[in-house]
Homo-oligomer: A and B are copies of this chain.
Amino acid sequence: MAKSISGPEIEKLIQLLARVPGLGPRSARRAALHMIKKKDQLLGPLSEAMAEAHEKVTVCLRCGNVDTADPCSICTDTRRDSSVIIVVEDVADLWALERAAAMNCTYHVLGGTLSPLDGIGPDDLNIKTLVDRVSNGGIKELVIAVNATVEGQTTAHYITDQLDGFDVSITRLAHGVPVGGELDYLDEGTLTAALRSRTKL
């Protein structure tokens, strides 16, 4: 779209919106137009919410979670079992596990996985801080909840090696059939894992 039809401000808004994951150039235009039409209900509040988040959001130095407080609300929540740490790759995984609400414990966000091809080594991830947390004592269990990918599993093994000698139980998520999933659509690896880990009815 030429600059001359709607002013540089709208054009800039569309360009920035197109960089938001989930929005492409076309949907960014649609989103911008919708926001402009709902100027006071959406554009204004959203601009303020973003400015506030930009100003206040920080990364928890202890666990790597994003929050407006450091240490974050999870680390400072006394109702949580701080002797159990779930280790995740990304904050999105932390959010997903919190939505499941299956365990009331703390987290450690690695910030990615080991990937020599992409030049991501142990020093690029929050692994040292994890070892520090464990060596400070008081940790009974570490649940390694990284993705079931090659990189995720490599990272899991590396962490296990680093924690060799500490008196901490290291567990991983179970493999198996997703709840609600159909066997016919599952890969052989998952089916094999589900069979091997079969439980009594």
Q: Which of A1-45 contact B (CB under 8 A)?
A: 1-2, 4-10, 12-13, 16-17, 19-23, 27, 29-36, 39, 42-45
Other-chain residue from B5, B51, B101 in contact with A95 (beta carbon distance below 8 A): B5
- Chain A contact residue count (CB 8 A cutoff): 60
Closest CB of chain B to A19's CB: distance in Å? 6
A21 and B30: CB pair below 8 A?
yes
**Does any Cβ of B come within 8 Å of A94's Cβ?**
yes
**Does any Cβ of B come within 8 Å of A53's Cβ?**
yes
Query: What is the copy number of this chain in the assembly?
Result: 2
Contacts of A68 in B (CB 8 A): 6-10
Q: Which of A33-68 contact B (CB under 8 A)?
A: 33-36, 39, 42-54, 56-57, 65-68
Other-chain residue from B7, B47, B56, B74 in contact with A54 (beta carbon distance below 8 A): B47
**Does any Cβ of B come within 8 Å of A148's Cβ?**
no
A67 and B98: CB pair below 8 A?
no
B9 and A49: CB pair below 8 A?
yes
A20 and B31: CB pair below 8 A?
yes
- Which A residues are within 8 Å of any B CB, using their own CB? 1-2, 4-10, 12-13, 16-17, 19-23, 27, 29-36, 39, 42-54, 56-57, 65-69, 72-74, 77, 90-92, 94-95, 98-99, 101
- 16 A-B contacts, Cβ less than 8 Å apart? A1-B98, A2-B98, A4-B77, A7-B73, A9-B57, A10-B66, A13-B46, A13-B49, A16-B42, A32-B53, A33-B95, A36-B53, A36-B57, A36-B66, A44-B54, A47-B48
